[in-house]
Amino acid sequence: MSPRGTGIVLSAGDAIVVHRRDARPLIVVIDDAEGAAAAINSRVRAS
């Protein structure tokens, strides 16, 4: 992906970027990236 982050490619298409506090960003290419981002954001808001 890039020297600034780690990437996991599961398929071609859209991606999400998870900005972690104490680590490099994590980039994930996944089907329904929008749904995955919504699920992650929901969990973050709940904690």
Question: Per-residue pLDDT tens for 7-40?
Answer: 777 777 888 888 888 888 888 888 889 999 999 9
Q: Please give the Cα distance from 19 to 5 (Å, whole number).
A: 9
| pLDDT reported for residue 45 | 92
Q: Is the model's pLDDT at 1 over the cut of 60?
A: no
In which band, very low, low, confident or very high, does the pLDDT at 42 lie, cut at 50, 70 and 90? very high
Distances in Å between the alpha carbon of 9 and those of 2, 16, 38? 13, 11, 19
Is the model's pTM score more than 0.75? no
CA 21 to chain centre: 13
Task: Enumerate the domain spans of the chain.
Answer: 6-46
Q: Is the model's pLDDT at 44 over the cut of 80?
A: yes
